[in-house]
Amino acid sequence: MNQLLALPANSFRYKVYAFDDTSIMFYSIPKEAVKRGTYNPEWGRVNSTLSKSDKLIAAEVYGPGPESVEGPVIAGNGKEIEVDGEPRAGHIDSDGQADSYSFSARTEGDYTLIVTGDALVHIDLTDKDGGPPYPTDRGGDSDSPRLGLSMLRWLSAGKWTIRLTASRFATYSRGTYTLSVRKGRV
């Protein structure tokens, strides 16, 4: 019976999503497994294709795939951050929100992404094709910007994308942040 207890809504260990009865993870329940007179015929359904929420969660965990997926609220999409320029201000207001920014590394070398503010955030850094900075790098860091989050990476010249979401360890985090990119170690 312990396997059926609900997770607390404010759990920092697990990310909780809204129930999706079209999810491929919604398994068929045989009528014989349910108390007589309480069975719902929908419970016998076998979902064999990924739902919209399945695709969104997979993209969040593993990164976006080759095809675009209609996703969560994207703020700052297309906003360019100038290296060594003024910080960009943003805020995390809702679960699933992802703020997306980009910058151009003019030369190969060290680049530092700096986030300050009161939201606990997770940063993903990807190249123009959605890949990490180098094969063994997952491209992401989580921390409290109150303490000053900095991500240092050796990058090749080219276009880079930064995606900020609520930290995977505090998915209900809300608040403001500033983001800047500096050439070199800071």
Query: Model confidence over 122-136: pLDDT tens digits?
Result: 788 888 777 788 877
Task: Please give the structure tokens belonging to residue 11.
Answer: 């759990």
Nearest one of 183, 186, 164 to 174, comparing CA atoms: 164
Question: Domain for residue 85, yes or no?
Answer: yes
Q: Domain range spanning residue 56?
A: 26-62
Number of independent structural domains in the chain: 2
Alpha-carbon distance of 93 to 84, in angstroms, equals: 27
Domain with residue 166: its CATH number is 2.60.120.380
Is the same domain home to 39 and 95? Answer: no
| Residue 47 amino acid letter | N
Is the same domain home to 30 and 85? Answer: no
Bigger pLDDT: 146 vs 120: 120
Alpha-carbon distance of 102 to 79, in angstroms, equals: 6
Nearest one of 119, 114, 134 to 171, comparing CA atoms: 119
Is the same domain home to 90 and 179? Answer: yes
Is the same domain home to 35 and 113? Answer: no
Q: How confident is the model at residue 72 (pLDDT cuts 50, 70, 90)?
A: very low
Nearest one of 164, 30, 40, 21 to 97, comparing CA atoms: 164
User: How does DSSP classify residue 161?
Assistant: E
Question: Domain for residue 151, yes or no?
Answer: yes
Domain ends where: 62, 90, 107? Answer: 62
Question: Domain for residue 2, yes or no?
Answer: no
Question: Domain for residue 121, yes or no?
Answer: yes
Question: Domain for residue 78, yes or no?
Answer: yes
Segment 154-168 shows an average pLDDT of 85
Beta carbons of 127 and 102 less than 8 angstroms apart? no
Is the same domain home to 173 and 95? Answer: yes
pTM of the predicted structure, to 2 decimals = 0.59
